[in-house]
Amino acid sequence: MDIPRYWRLKDQRYRLQGRKCKDCGNLSFPPRLVCQKCKSRKSVPHEFKGLGKLYTYTAIYQAPDRFDPMVPYIVGLIDLEEGVRITAQVTDVLPEDVVIGMDLEMVIRKIYADGDKGPILYGYKFRPILKKMTA
């Protein structure tokens, strides 16, 4: 595992931190340094709330080696409340119970472990929302 890269991306992976354009307010995730709307290079970090709906998904049965212990798993395109579409694993649900449009929330899970001796990579995944909080 590339430990320096793993460590540098932790704001993004641990807290869904993207960028907000200082000129037009456009949000991006993964964070982009040049605004896709207005081409501005001025942006500030922005943490997404981690709530969204499943746009579409696929179940993975054949995975790269490092993800192989987890098959079958689900990769989804998720529309965040803030209007940004991201790609993430959908967890805590059996493939046959996944429904397009279902409400999801971000959780932190193990992405993979680098063998028995290497570091464990943690990051965001999404699961069916546990409970809609009104507060």
Binding stretches for another protein (CB under 8 A): 10, 14-15, 69-70, 89, 91-94, 107-111, 120, 122, 125, 130-131, 133, 135
Is 20 a binding residue for Zn ion by CB under 5 A? The answer is: no
Binding mask 28-67 for Zn ion (x = CB under 5 A): -------x-xx-x---------------------------
Q: Taking the alpha carbons of 14, 15, 21, 25 in that order, is the dihedral positive or negative?
A: positive
# of chain residues touching Zn ion (CB under 5 A): 8
Is 27 a binding residue for Zn ion by CB under 5 A? The answer is: no
Is 17 a binding residue for Zn ion by CB under 5 A? The answer is: no
Q: Alpha carbon of 8 to those of 4, 41, 112, 121, 128: distances in Å? A: 6, 20, 17, 12, 29
Among the listed residues 3, 24, 33, 120, the single contact to Zn ion using CB under 5 A? 24
Residue whose CB is less far from another protein, 44 or 135: 135
Query: Do 73 and 91 touch, CB atoms closer than 8 A?
Result: yes
Q: Taking the alpha carbons of 84, 85, 87, 91 in that order, is the dihedral positive or negative?
A: positive
Cβ-Cβ contacts under 8 Å for 26 (sequence gap 6 or more): 20, 35, 36, 37, 38
Binding-site ranges for Zn ion (CB under 5 A): 21, 23-24, 26, 35, 37-38, 40
